[in-house]
Amino acid sequence: MSSLHRREFLGSSLGGFAAAFAFGPSLFAQDTVTAAAIADAASLSFAPDTLFLSWQQDPTSSMTVQWIGSETPADVSVKFATVDNPLWQLAKTITKPFSTTDLKVFRTQLTGLKDGTEYQFQIGNAAKIYRFRTMPQKATNTIQFVSGGDAGVDEHAVKTNILAAKQEPYFALIGGDLAYDNGKSPETFIKFLQNYHGHMIDAKGRLIPMLSCIGNHEVNGSYKMKRDKSPNYLSVFDNLFPEKTFGVLDIGDYLSLVLLDTDHLEPIAGEQTSWLEKTLADRQDRPHLMVANHVPAYPSYRAMEGANGGNGTGHEQRVHWCPLFERYNVDVVLEHHDHTFKRSHPLTNGLKDKNGVLYLGDGSWGKLRAAKTPEERPYLAATSSAYHVTVHRLEGEQRFHMALEESGKVADVCMTTNKRPARRG
């Protein structure tokens, strides 16, 4: 049982208590401080430092608000309205246990939203107002998001958060190994959310929603485990992965993101591969069809060959998934796990092919290793040993992918175009 319990959140509650007195005599009678007045002041100052946004339904018409905590105001419902026309609506907040602690996950699903619109929301009677924007239904303008993986909670992860937020992305896609909680440290997972909440806010004050897929450091045991071995991650991402830790998110009429599990809770072969083939086949009319997973099929650090002739990193993906990526003309596969920056050549069956599939990664949001060079790995076009985030710009049926190092230096830029049949109508 974790030692993280309600008492450890009392610091923030006491902060709210102190803030009540900071409001001065306008809140209270001159010499009388009542329990009700203190509660009202605490409610006004409530601002959970783990709050973040994500999606479980259509990103053009919904948003999921979540936070983890203990002591809360009596009213944790969420009221929301567009920024331009503040006619407030109310949404109910549900609670569920957080991992192995006696803390709770608070979750509110906002639905019936307008696409491509800026919204504001408040929790209960709290004074703080948050902002976000929904995804457009049609990509009439440039759509920009960021991706990366292998974050952690140290200063480098924070710096990459800040760099990512400066790009004003619609969302961030973190491809596994978010907190490095290993399925058994809720404290570490909470710290990750605190960092994300504190820094993933764009220049216009909008919260940046987070999408993810699962990695080995979300799981106690890393590979071939059951769902109960990932209690922290699935406490908040079970809305995106309610039964299986793979899925697809369709955004408007232009983008499909296929999120896969590289043998952490779900085997690669079998059900997941069958699902993947149908999912890709059903989305051949999408202008942008992208895949994200954690362990790379084409690693930039680990070996493709195992000891004594055994299978190395990514072997099962190369056998079961890469032929599907090639057959269905996937635009880009976002891979992670190796803690470098990498861009592959377009590949077919592991060989350079101008009509092949591009693999980008390799997971250095907050973790780092020395990358292998293209001379050492001929399938690689570019590598570097730098903390980085990738910015993806969707323009028509073209995509521009720019890797930014922690310093802000541009590490690499490339472009991909749609190879699938043009959409009709």
**pLDDT single digits (tens) 257-298:** 999 999 999 999 999 999 999 999 999 999 999 999 999 999
Please tell me the distance from the alpha carbon of residue 177 to that of residue 14, in angstroms, as a whole number: 33
Mean pLDDT of the chain: 91
Where residue 33 falls among pLDDT bands split at 50, 70, 90?
A: low
Please tell me the distance from the alpha carbon of residue 359 to that of residue 342, in angstroms, as a whole number: 8
**Sheet bearing 104-110, strands edge to edge:** 52-54, 63-69, 104-110, 93-97
Burial (Cβ within 10 Å: 0-12, 13-18, ≥19) of residue 85: exposed
* pLDDT score recorded for residue 358: 98
Q: pLDDT by residue (tens digit) across 382-405?
A: 999 999 999 999 999 899 999 999
Where residue 204 falls among pLDDT bands split at 50, 70, 90?
A: very high
Please tell me the distance from the alpha carbon of residue 138 to that of residue 136, in angstroms, as a whole number: 5
Determine if residue 295 is left, alpha or beta; phi over 0 gives left, psi from -120 to 50 gives alpha, anything else beta.
beta
Strands 118-123 vs 104-110: parallel, antiparallel or unpaired:
unpaired
3-state secondary structure 115-137: CCCEEEEEECCCCCCEEEECCCC
Sequence ranges of the chain with CATH classification 2.60.40.380? 6-133
Please tell me the distance from the alpha carbon of residue 337 to that of residue 417, in angstroms, as a whole number: 26
Please tell me the distance from the alpha carbon of residue 199 to that of residue 335, in angstroms, as a whole number: 24
Residue 406 has pLDDT above 50, yes or no: yes
Residue 32 has pLDDT above 60, yes or no: no
State the Cα angle at 20 between 16 and 24, rounded to 5°.
Answer: 155
* pLDDT score recorded for residue 296: 98
Residue 6 has pLDDT above 90, yes or no: no
Residue 301 pairs in a beta bridge with none
Please tell me the distance from the alpha carbon of residue 380 to that of residue 245, in angstroms, as a whole number: 29
Q: Is residue 157 within 8 Å of 151, Cβ to Cβ?
A: yes
With H, G, I as helix, E, B as strand and everything else as coil, classify residue 35.
helix
The percentage of residues in the chain with a pLDDT greater than 70, rounded to a whole number, is 89
Residue 20 has pLDDT above 50, yes or no: no
Per CATH, domain 6-133 is 2.60.40.380:
yes
Q: Tokens 């920056």 label which residue? A: 341
Fold of domain 143-417? Purple Acid Phosphatase; chain A, domain 2 (3.60.21)
* Alpha carbon 101 to its chain's center: 23
Q: What is the DSSP string of 234-251?
A: HHHHTTTSSSSS-EEEEE
Q: What is the DSSP string of 13-81?
A: HHHHHHHHHHTGGGTS-SS---HHHHHHHHHHT---TT-EEE-SS-TTT-EEEEEEESS--S---EEEE
Lowest mean pLDDT among 24-33, 181-190, 219-228, 236-245: 24-33
Please tell me the distance from the alpha carbon of residue 387 to that of residue 74, in angstroms, as a whole number: 42
Sequence ranges of the chain with CATH classification 3.60.21.10? 143-417
User: Which pTM value belongs to this model?
Assistant: 0.90
With H, G, I as helix, E, B as strand and everything else as coil, classify residue 381.
strand
Please tell me the distance from the alpha carbon of residue 251 to that of residue 197, in angstroms, as a whole number: 23
Instruction: Please state the rounded mean pLDDT for residues 19-48.
Output: 54
Pair of tokens at residue 83: 């920024």
Residue 352 pairs in a beta bridge with 347
With H, G, I as helix, E, B as strand and everything else as coil, classify residue 64.
strand
DSSP H or E stretch at residue 80 = strand 78-82
- Cα dist. 348→114, 239, 353 in Å? 41, 35, 6
> In this structure, which amino acid lies at residue 75?
D
Where residue 422 falls among pLDDT bands split at 50, 70, 90?
A: low
Lowest mean pLDDT among 40-44, 316-320, 383-387: 40-44
* pLDDT score recorded for residue 418: 87
- Cα dist. 321→252, 286, 297, 328 in Å? 25, 19, 9, 11
* pLDDT score recorded for residue 401: 98
Residue 21 has pLDDT above 60, yes or no: no
Please tell me the distance from the alpha carbon of residue 252 to that of residue 84, in angstroms, as a whole number: 22
* pLDDT score recorded for residue 4: 59
* pLDDT score recorded for residue 306: 85
